[in-house]
Amino acid sequence: MRFTKKRKIVITTMTQHKETIYIGADHRGFEVKKEIIEMLREMEESVIDCGNTVQDLDDDYPDFAEVVAQNVSQNSGKGILICGSGIGMSIAANKVPGAYASLVTSPESAEKTIVHNEGGNILCLGVDTTPKETIKEIVKRWSQAKKTDQTPQRYKRRQEKIKMIEKKFCEQ
């Protein structure tokens, strides 16, 4: 594990049988994150809280986006990031190779991040733009969505193109 000097942000490396959900939030998403963690644990999901662990009005969303995205990429898990709009978190998380973050505002879109975009591995949520009950429905639908062998070839082809773009620019 590694801790940053400014805040206790945990980077974990582990092998798990059940896909782990890494979750992080800045001060705007802090309270909703606590509720989502409780809900996921009631659903018997494996959840690791990547911070923030205290309400800190001076925290910065890129810190949590990086930690969650790195854990998801290195450990083949899934991630949830929560902030005011979800936009900054998705931008920051998508800078980490192997992280494919999507800003989601509806349960239908949440399911499509898994079913249509097999690589979609991080869910980004905005508490200022999406009602809390909708956020909970989004998380439930997303956590229950399954990748399928029946994924149409066109979705697989598109996902491969995204990976090729990532590889091309990460090698520079």
Q: Which backbone phi and psi does 118 adopt, to 5 degrees?
A: -50, -30
- Known active-site residue 83: yes
- The dihedral through the CA atoms of 10, 35, 26, 46 has a sign that is positive
Helix%, strand%, coil% for the chain, nearest 5: 45, 15, 40
Spatial distance between the Cα atoms of 82 and 143, rounded to a whole number of angstroms: 15
Q: Which of 17, 27, 50, 116 is catalytic?
A: 116
Spatial distance between the Cα atoms of 9 and 62, rounded to a whole number of angstroms: 12
- Known active-site residue 27: no
Q: Which of 27, 50, 83, 124 is catalytic?
A: 83
Q: Token digits for 76?
A: 């083949």
Residue 39 neighbours by CB distance under 10 Å: 16
> Burial level of 44, CB count in 10 A (0-12/13-18/19+)?
exposed
Task: Provide the annotated active-site residues.
Answer: 83, 116
